[in-house]
Structure 1
Amino acid sequence: MLEQANGVLQVNGLHVKIKTEQGAHSLIEDIGFELKQGQVLGLVGESGSGKSITCMSLLQLLDRKQTSVEGSIRLNGRELNGLKAEEMRRIRGKEIAYIMQNPMSAFTPVYTIGEQFTETIRTHTSLSKKQALELAAAAMTDMNLTNPSKLMKLYPFQLSGGMLQRVMIAISMCLRPAVVIADEPTTALDVVNQLQVLRQLDRLRTECGTSILLISHDLGVISELADDVSVMQKGRIVETANVFELFDRPRHPYTKQLLDARLTINERP
């Protein structure tokens, strides 16, 4: 697979601050990384380390009245930071997709799954409603969701959290975006469906050249899919390395703590 010389997603000097009565407070500081075509970069760290804030800033989803985002976010050479909301809406879902951490809050409760799925497809393509439904059904089948035509007539509350998670991943993947940001994509899934999701993400990157930013607290998921790993602590990236090097020879004390915290199969609670 050929890699783009300058990378698909380039992030440099990213700072996010929240405005408070006491002044601006930094949430993340000096974040920088590059995603090449077909590369999977794992982003790990404990809760509150800044992983999800980093995702939201890349997608320009933070409240601009409450936060400020400084630095450069370039997608295929185009600067995203500071784009108008309407321009970002055209990019999100088609060129850069987002798999949210909480599937229950990702869907509007008053519309069926099919209505929300096909709306995403038709917003970014010239497909007819029938073609959009066919594409949606195929994407859901790929995610091991049986009887997609029936599922698309249901409302979000009629599906389990795990099923909603797989529907959300299917929506994110069906338009074959250049970049997928996956924030804890396997959290709500059992082991069988976790494996299915990882296989589909790997297929997306191998067949379509999609780059993936994979955020997870599950180091097993990271070791299975990621090429490189960045470790976040208190809003900063403290270490970046090849996945094998990071697991075998971690350099930063915080990385060592994360790896030591893993339970092995032989350990007793």
Structure 2
Amino acid sequence: MIGHTNETLQVTGLQVSVLTAAGQQRLVHGIDLGIRPGQVLGLVGESGSGKTMTCLSILQLHDGKTTCIEGSIRLNGRELNGLRAGDMRRVRGKEIGFIMQNPMNAFSPVFTIGNQFVETIRSHTQLSKKQALDLAASALHDVNLPDASSLLRRYPFELSGGMLQRAMIALAMCMQPSLLIADEPTTALDTANQLQVLRLLDRIRREHGTSILLISHDLGVIAELADEVAVMQRGELVEKADVYSLFDHPRHPYTKQLMESRPVMPGAERSEELILS
């Protein structure tokens, strides 16, 4: 794939191998992906298909001693693969935001929410502590969390799962990154909170032009938010299409199998109108 110059993220020929007792084992095979500003690319596949491995490669979070990443990973034209650890730390959090599937894993239980926002913000900016707190409060307000100043003084265990997930999105977005990677962002949430988070992500991409890589095994989540969908099977990209074409006319046998495995209420049909549109 030849990447377009206006793409925020260009992944070309990505191959990931890990060192095992039997030697090098390749887990991701020549993946090509591209995401434009304001676009949501859904990455789907069953557990073990290579979705999270691809995500960690983009973030350069693999153990360099046991994992080999080949190919090109370009963010706004800058090559990330092979970037020095210190330089990559400056990219993560500032230029790339990351939302984990379990919000409790994103926050330390022994520090307040405010402390963790301030640490993240000040590691990427020259802001004072007060300025960082003001930015944190503004970010929390943007994700519809009320009484931000009080919330910043609380500990993670004092927040509900939905509040924590929105706080994590606020933390990921406070530096206004050009790319947001959301790895199963709604898995731990109930239906009402899932919809809130999806609407929030949609607003972020529309208002800020943020590119979003949405990783999920939940095809309902993908249908609600993604513009294009890439399907992975056993470390390979087997199909890529716009969301309507993929759901209405899947071509690859594995994609058809995924579609057929979706739980469907008797008599229910997939609406052509997305809830978020």
**Residue 257 of structure 2 corresponds to which residue in structure 1?**
257
Q: Which runs of 5+ in 1 are unaligned?
A: none
Distance of 2:144 and 2:218 partners within structure 1: 22
Between 84-93 and 189-198, report the one with greater CA deviation: 189-198
**Residue 113 of structure 1 corresponds to which residue in structure 2?**
113
Amino acid at match of 1:190: D
**Residue 18 of structure 1 corresponds to which residue in structure 2?**
18
Q: TM-score, normalised by structure 2?
A: 0.91
Q: Deviations over 1:188-240 (max 9, x none)?
A: 22222222212221122111111000011111111111110000111111000
- What aligned pairs does 1:1-269 form with structure 2 within 5 A after superposition? 5-266=5-266
Give the RMSD, CA atoms, in angstroms.
1.6
Distance of 1:26 and 1:158 partners within structure 2: 42
Stretches of 4+ aligned residues off by more than 4 angstroms: none
Distance of 2:115 and 2:123 partners within structure 1: 12
Distance of 2:144 and 2:216 partners within structure 1: 22
- The SS at the match of 1:257 is helix
- The SS at the match of 1:256 is helix
Shift of 1:73: 0.2
Distance of 1:19 and 1:102 partners within structure 2: 28
Distance of 1:38 and 1:176 partners within structure 2: 13
Shift of 1:164: 2.1
Distance of 1:121 and 1:214 partners within structure 2: 24
Distance of 2:56 and 2:102 partners within structure 1: 14
Equivalent residue pairs, number: 265
Distance of 1:128 and 1:199 partners within structure 2: 32
Q: Which runs of 5+ in 2 are unaligned?
A: 268-277
Distance of 2:109 and 2:193 partners within structure 1: 24
Shift of 1:38: 1.1
Shift of 1:6: 3.8
Distance of 1:207 and 1:141 partners within structure 2: 15
Q: Deviations over 1:235-269 (max 9, x none)?
A: 111000010000000000110011111111227xx
Distance of 2:226 and 2:24 partners within structure 1: 34
Between 85-94 and 200-209, report the one with greater CA deviation: 200-209
Q: TM-score, normalised by structure 1?
A: 0.93
